[in-house]
Amino acid sequence: MTVMTLAPSRVSRVRRALVLGWARGGLETLQFFRGREAVVFSLLFPAFMMMIMNTLFGSVITPGTSYAQYLIPGIIASGLITGGFQTLVIQIPLERDRGLLKRLAAAPMPQSAYFIGKVLMVLATSLAQLALLLFTAVVFYDVHLPSTLHAWGTFAWVYILGITACTLCGVAFSSLPENGRQAPVIVAPASLIIQFISGVFTVSSTLPGWLRVLADVFPLKWMCQGMRAAFLPQSFANRETGGSWQLGTVALVIGAWIVVGMLMCLRGFRWTRSRHDG
Amino acid sequence: MLHGHDQGHVGGGTGDPDPAIRIRGLVKEYKGHRALHGVDLDVHHGEVFALLGPNGAGKTTMVEIMEGFRSRDGGSVEVLGVDPAHADYAWKARIGVVLQSTSEFEDLNVGEVLRHFARFYPNPYGVDELLEMLGITEAKKKRIAKLSGGQQRRMDVALGMIGRPELLFLDEPTTGFDPRSRRDFWDFIQQLAQHGTTIVLTTHYLEEAEFLADRAAVLVKGRIVDVATPATLGGRDLEAAVVGWVDAEGREQTMTTTTPGEVVAGLVARFGGEVPGLTVTRPSLNDVYLEMISSADAAAVADGDNGDDDDDRSAGDDRSAGDDRSAGDDRSAADGDRGRGKKNRSAAPVPAVVTAAGEDTAKQAVADILVDQGADA
């Protein structure tokens, strides 16, 4: 009977969620790359950002380390915020408004497949973004990529934790705006402010104490710091607000946001516009 | 003029031991306002069932409860034997829901989207097969954004149908169609029905219900005022008919009668055969329907309802408690104390099930509306 394929064991349920999640990820990525303007602007955004910042402030910070070298970790980290968090917080309410979520909720699709699809789409676009950024940085700005396996390892785990936190929080916070028009209005300024206080462009030692505390709460500061640990020489560690890379705290704070995001996703995700029912 | 047609049964319920949909005493409340007042309904397997009613009557609320999108505050609902509030994937695979628009896929083409959705179902239609059934084979490679209005709507139906559902929900399926595409669409729905698919549709178009539906229910302000075949809805078959003919002097004559057969027989006898220009006109479904709902509509407008079906608060929500009390139904109790309101209902001498579509309740509903209208004017 057909029911057999739909009410199967735990293992095949997980398999089904993964297979369908993969399919959703494929469709979402395809849809993303079909929207030409979006592709150009969002993929090139970090590279543009680096060019502009470098033109404005570009100089050599210490012998052997250019401003571009110093800037790149922050640009990567804020790329995760825009590509993961911001994209989803704006996109999902639109999908809710347009009835896509309702359509998916009506289909016998495991809900997790939708989230897996989003993660894969964010991952695909983020990797494309990252490749373009690093290519530009290395070719035109003489940026050095991490030179040791250890540094690459740091880069990898900060990237993976960071993108996971951003994606989950993006999905989670997407249930807060009433509708699709409200989302960008809230998110864009908020994320800009967080970028400034989190030391994306420069280490925030000049910030007043209370703003620094605020920055400590959000994951972006820690993502920047982790990325700098991968891209900058050890001598830069004492320029951080904490006087060292604090990689343990980096993992802890980003990890905490992953947990918060996950809990919010599980409890409060809205598939329909109505607030009456969950 | 409002007749309960299922006199032998209770409300919109019938004696069907195994209906596709069985609803008893369905109650839905929004912030103290009662949107559905203990609705009963049976939809049989294989029938096309139309849910009619003005904006704000609770149609969408009711359908969304059946589809599992909305919770309910009372009563029982079984759709294909399952409570939609606890639906699993196996149940969802047997249900098709046709939603309003596919604009969310603008950059993908028809084939891509359908193939994607087909993956969710255990026994889906083939994409080509489905497109052919819907007569949009030529659109397979077209981007969704480039589809014409009619193709767009068929695509919506295709997405609802892709899983080969036993039961299909259509929410105002032909809104915005030109007459030709509407007719084509109706033919398609009839074909589906002939293949045994049970279809529940909401519509504003009476001719649509008349053409397609085996039975129709009229929902007014959260109550079903009648459930019947389109031909007998609202006592249409018992209403006076108008017999018209042309007399010997060439003048058009009409006679209003409840026994048109007798009148025609008399005319045949008088003319000794064919009666020139003979017509027998029953009130149209439109006439009957408008009579059933017009007062409700007026009340809704007077209440400043924005006309959107089932926005959080539908028609009549802003009425003062005084108006409510004058309406004399359970709403005042419900507004005053929701918990107690429900209890009162079940403890009332009239069982909740009777209140949906019995003749008295229908009259009561109309009376309520008139009272509301009077109070607002």
Tens of pLDDT along A249-278? 999 999 999 999 988 887 888 887 765 433
Instruction: Tell me the backbone φ, ψ of residue B226, rounded to 5 degrees.
Output: -165, 145
Domain-located, residue B128: no
Specify whether B213 is located in the same domain as B341.
yes
Residue given tokens 């150009």 in the structure block: A40
Distances (CA, A) of B178 to A89, B98, B136: 38, 19, 17
The residue among A183, A164, A186 whose CA lies nearest residue A174 is A183
Average pLDDT over residues A143-163: 92
pLDDT by residue (tens digit) across B65-89?
999 989 999 999 999 999 999 988 9
DSSP conformational letter for B258? S
DSSP conformational letter for B143? B
Q: Name every chain B residue with its beta carbon within 8 A of the beta carbon of A93.
A: none
Residue of chain B minimizing CA distance to A7: B90
Beta carbons of A34 and A120 less than 8 angstroms apart: no
Q: Among B281, B309, B340, where does a domain finish?
A: B281
Q: How far apart are CA B6 and CA B41, in angstroms?
A: 11
CA–centroid distance for B327 within its chain: 25
Specify whether B201 is located in the same domain as B307.
yes
Distances (CA, A) of A180 to A39, A92, A184, A207: 20, 8, 8, 34
Asked whether the beta carbons of residue A276 and residue B104 sit closer than 8 angstroms, the reply is no
Name the percent of chain A lying above pLDDT 90.
33
Question: Closest to A99 (Cβ–Cβ): which among B101, B107, B112?
Answer: B101
Q: What average pLDDT does the structure give for chain B?
A: 76
Asked whether the beta carbons of residue A274 and residue B312 sit closer than 8 angstroms, the reply is yes
Q: Name every chain A residue with its beta carbon within 8 A of the beta carbon of B90.
A: 2-3, 6-7, 108
Residue of chain A minimizing CA distance to B162: A107
Average pLDDT over residues A11-29: 92
Specify whether B52 is located in the same domain as B83.
yes
DSSP E strands, chain B: 21-30, 33-43, 48-52, 74-79, 95-98, 167-171, 198-202, 215-220, 223-228, 241-246, 252-257, 279-281
Q: How far apart are CA A85 and CA A168, in angstroms?
A: 8
Interchain CB contacts (distance < 8 Å): A and B: 84
More confident residue, B203 or B117: B117
Q: Among B281, B303, B333, where does a domain finish?
A: B281
Q: How far apart are CA A78 and CA A46, in angstroms?
A: 8
Residue A36 burial (10 A CB sphere; 0-12, 13-18, 19+): exposed
**The tokens of A134 are what?**
């690093």
ipTM above 0.90, yes or no: no
Q: Name every chain B residue with its beta carbon within 8 A of the beta carbon of A7.
A: 88-90
pLDDT by residue (tens digit) across B203-243?
888 889 989 999 999 998 888 888 989 888 877 777 778 88
Distance, in angstroms, between B61 CA and closest chain A CA? 11
pLDDT at A203: 63
Average pLDDT over residues A31-53: 84
Domain that holds residue B341: 1-94+166-237+283-377
Name the percent of chain B lying above pLDDT 70.
74
Question: Does B117 contact A at CB distance below 8 Å?
Answer: yes
pLDDT by residue (tens digit) across B12-33?
677 778 899 999 999 999 887 8
> In terms of DSSP bridges, do strands B241-246 and B252-257 run parallel, antiparallel, or are they unpaired?
antiparallel
| Whether the predicted pLDDT of B136 surpasses 60 | yes
The residue among B155, B172, B162, B170 whose CA lies nearest residue B106 is B155
Domain-located, residue B115: no
Q: Name every chain A residue with its beta carbon within 8 A of the beta carbon of B123.
A: 2
Q: Name every chain B residue with its beta carbon within 8 A of the beta carbon of A34.
A: 107-108
Question: Closest to A5 (Cβ–Cβ): which among B71, B122, B163?
Answer: B122
| Whether the predicted pLDDT of A157 surpasses 80 | yes
Q: How far apart are CA B284 and CA A231, in angstroms?
A: 79
| Whether the predicted pLDDT of A186 surpasses 90 | no
Q: How far apart are CA A1 and CA A4, in angstroms?
A: 6
**The tokens of A31 are what?**
């849809």
Beta carbons of B179 and B108 less than 8 angstroms apart: no
> In terms of DSSP bridges, do strands B167-171 and B198-202 run parallel, antiparallel, or are they unpaired?
parallel
H-only helix segments in B100-230: 110-118, 127-134, 149-161, 179-194, 206-212
> Could you give the angle at the alpha carbon of B68 between the alpha carbons of B67 and B73, nearest 5°?
115
Specify whether B247 is located in the same domain as B296.
no
Preferred mutation among B66, B89, B115 to probe A, highest tally of A CBs within 10 A: B89
The residue among B355, B305, B360 whose CA lies nearest residue B334 is B355
Domain-located, residue B50: yes
Under the banding of pLDDT at 50, 70 and 90, the label for residue B364 is very low
Domain-located, residue B139: no
Under the banding of pLDDT at 50, 70 and 90, the label for residue A213 is confident
Specify whether B80 is located in the same domain as B170.
yes
pLDDT by residue (tens digit) across B287-319?
778 877 765 555 545 544 444 444 333 333 333
Domain-located, residue B14: yes
Specify whether B211 is located in the same domain as B248.
no
What does A46-108 look like in DSSP terms, one character per residue? HHHHHHHHHHHH-SEEETTEEHHHHHHHHHHHHHHIIIIIIHHHHHHHHHHHTTHHHHHHHTT
pLDDT by residue (tens digit) across A226-240?
999 999 888 887 777
Q: Name every chain B residue with its beta carbon within 8 A of the beta carbon of A94.
A: 104
| Whether the predicted pLDDT of B336 surpasses 50 | no
Amino acid code (one letter) for A101: L
Asked whether the beta carbons of residue B108 and residue A5 sit closer than 8 angstroms, the reply is no
Q: What is the pTM of this model?
A: 0.75
Provide the number of structural domains found in chain B: 2
Specify whether B257 is located in the same domain as B376.
no
Name the percent of chain A lying above pLDDT 70.
93
Beta carbons of B289 and B1 less than 8 angstroms apart: no
Specify whether B209 is located in the same domain as B334.
yes
| Whether the predicted pLDDT of B337 surpasses 60 | no
